[in-house]
Every structure is written in C-alpha cells, then in structure tokens.
Amino acid sequence: MSVSGLPDFPWDLLDPYKKRAAAHPDGIVDLSVGTPVDPTPPVVQAALADAADAHGYPLTVGTEDVRAAVVDWFARRRGVTLTADAVLPTIGSKELVAWLPTILGLGAGDLVGIPAVAYPTYDVGARLAGATAVVAQSLTSLGPPTTSTTPRLLWLNSPGNPDGRVLGVPHLAKVVRWAREHGVVVASDECYAELDWRPGADGSATPSILHPDVCGDSHEGLLAVYSLSKQSNVAGYRAAFVAGDRALVRGILEVRKHAGMMMPAPVQAAMAAALRDDAHVAAQRETYRRRRDTLLPAVARAGLRVEVSEAGLYLWATRDEDCWQTVSALADRGILVAPGAFYGPAGARHVRIALTATDERVAAAAARL
C-alpha cells in the first residue's frame, strides 16, 4: 500500500516483464494497455483547432452545442431520449469514476458495489471517499436495505473491462428494479459500447442503462458514463460525459463548479464534432475488428482459452494457471499483456490482451504465438 492508503499503481509491477519483452530481437509488442494508437480523425482535429482561441473560462456545464451533441448521440446511437440538463461533460471518464462516490457524498461506512472483475478505479473511487468497495456477485447477495450489505452506489460496466461482457436488457432491467426498491444509485460505465463484436451487432445494439426497455420512462437513480477515447482516438483530449437522472447530474454539476472541473472549451468543440460524425467511428470499429480477427485465432493456437470477450478492446484469456506465469511466458515471446489480478481476485488466472497496437505489431504478435 502507498502512504495515501491507495493501492500501488498496478502497471508499475509490469516493468520487469516489459524489459524482458523489449529484449526480443523484433522488439516488444505491447498489448498491456488500452491506449489508442491510431490517428485522431481529421474532423475532430479541425474542430479543436478552430476553437483554439479560448481566452475565457469554459462553463463547467458545457456549451449548448456540446450538450446538444450528446443528446443527439444518445438518441441516434443508443435509443435514449434525454434533455440538455441531463448531460454533463467530464474531463475523461476516469476522473468521474474516481470522484463520483465523493461527489455523491459517500463516506466511512458506505459501500460501493463493483463487478467481480473490474477496472481498478471503481475500487480507488470508493477509497478516495473513505467508503468500501464490495463485489456485487448477484442482486440477492447485496441484501435488503436494512442490512449493512447494501451499497449506496452500484457500478456496472458493460461492455466490461477486462472481460468484454455485455449485459443484456433483462439483466439490466433486473438491476434497475432492485436498485430502485432499495434506494441505490446505479452508475453504468458504457465507454466500449461502440465496439460490440457479437454477430450482427454494432454500437447501437449495445444496451444502455438509460434505454426505455431497461428503465421505463424514468432515469431516476441512474447514470451512464461514456468516453470518446476508444471510439474516436482522443484519449489525449480527455473527452467524456455523464448523463441520466437530472437531479443527480445537477448535484454533480454543483460540486464540479466549486472544484473547477471544467472541460477545456476547444475539447468541448472537438467532442461535439466527434459525436456528430459516425463515419470515423465505423471505420475505427472495423480496424479493431480486423486486429481482433488476426489475434483471436493466434491466441487460441498458443493454448489460451478466450472467455466472454464479446465486446470491447480486449481478449480475456486463460491457460488455467496463475496469471503471472502467463504474463512471464508471453514476455519471453516479446509480448506484454496485463495480468488478470489487476482486476481483482476473480481474475487471478486470466490475462487481458489488448487490441490497441498497430496492424504490424498485431501481426507480429500473431506470428510469435
């Protein structure tokens, strides 16, 4: 543990394996992180440049234009009807995930429900607030609201990181019913929604927690979090948003205004342009599909079993051994992957293999496997 009471940053533990993989004669193939490697689309770069004269402070709530773009995107791509006062730009999605428990007023004695295999920041966010993260294995295990096992905030992640699991409408609807019965806020991290590999699916087929088939005609107690980093190759822009329950969004806005959490004005303009251009998203989706089609059979030939992985940027794979043994074996082939233990004890026998490398590096990894 670090002096702050937070876990040590997990990726630092990969350094010895990264050095070993880098010693490969043909160089390292780094499949350990989900950072985009392809260019930011010209339409997005142009919007950023056109808005470069940003001499005044931006509004925390965002411009009318960026909020309208978010509302239009939800209607067009997710089948969700929203109003402008139900959406809010954020400085990437990770900071929102990390600070949401604090912003919602959680503290000591409060619980935050997280998936069994989960992006580490859900746990970090609970710790920052002084709350405690608990694995929400099932709705029934969470217990009735009179017990000490019911969280005040429940995180969903669909499509999931690292396992690529897509939660269907019946499952999401069951979660919403349970949460409303027990007064639990549900925050759904949906940032991989446009990367759905199920047969016949695309981003518009991935269910949102805010869809009327899931939650009826009300978004009460519900938040959806979305990032453009994956779909639009703008990880360096920190472009994301939260949407849903107007009262919750209004409360989040008030805290963010006091804390100075303002998305830069040029980034707001770039995000609006990106959300209105579906063509570059479709092209990027096909790029990742091609890399997945190259890597998936190679991973299987190397003796790893890929589980779930029906959406998102990763293959969730196992050789039925401790994840660090698999990391070590792949490092000997010059391939760096993330150990499943980074995502909780349930991932201890898996590794996460990212699709975020160039075509040439993905082909090199497939050849080595």
pLDDT in tens, 256-268: 999 999 999 999 9
Confidence label for 137 from pLDDT (cuts 50, 70 and 90): low
Residue 202 is predicted with a pLDDT of 72
Tell me which DSSP letter residue 77 carries.
I
Structure tokens at 314: 């990763």
Average pLDDT over residues 224-253: 97
Confidence label for 205 from pLDDT (cuts 50, 70 and 90): confident
Confidence label for 343 from pLDDT (cuts 50, 70 and 90): very high
Q: What is the pLDDT of residues 17-72, one digit of tens each?
A: 999 999 999 999 999 999 999 999 999 999 999 999 999 999 999 999 999 999 99
Q: What percent of the chain has pLDDT over 90?
A: 90
- Among residues 217, 252, 277, the one where a domain terminates is 277
Average pLDDT over residues 77-98: 97
* Same domain (yes/no): 106, 224: yes
* Same domain (yes/no): 190, 108: yes
Angle at 26 between CA 20 and CA 29, to 5 degrees: 60
The CATH number of residue 220's host domain is: 3.40.640.10
Beta carbons of 163 and 316 less than 8 angstroms apart: yes
Domain count, the chain: 2
For residue 331, the enclosing domain spans: 10-39+279-368
In our burial notation (b when 16+ CB lie closer than 10 A, e otherwise), range 155-192 reads bbbbbbbbbbbbbeeebbbebbebbbebebbbbbbbbb
* Same domain (yes/no): 266, 311: no
Question: How many of the other CB atoms lie within 10 Å of CB of 213?
Answer: 12
4 occurs within a structural domain: no
Residue 3 is predicted with a pLDDT of 44
Identify the residue whose tokens are 């959300």. Answer: 275
Q: Which segment of 83-97, 194-208, 229-243 scores lowest on mean pLDDT?
A: 194-208
H-type alpha helices, the chain: 15-22, 42-50, 64-73, 93-103, 121-129, 139-142, 169-182, 212-215, 229-232, 246-259, 265-276, 278-301, 323-331, 359-368
Residue 136 is predicted with a pLDDT of 81
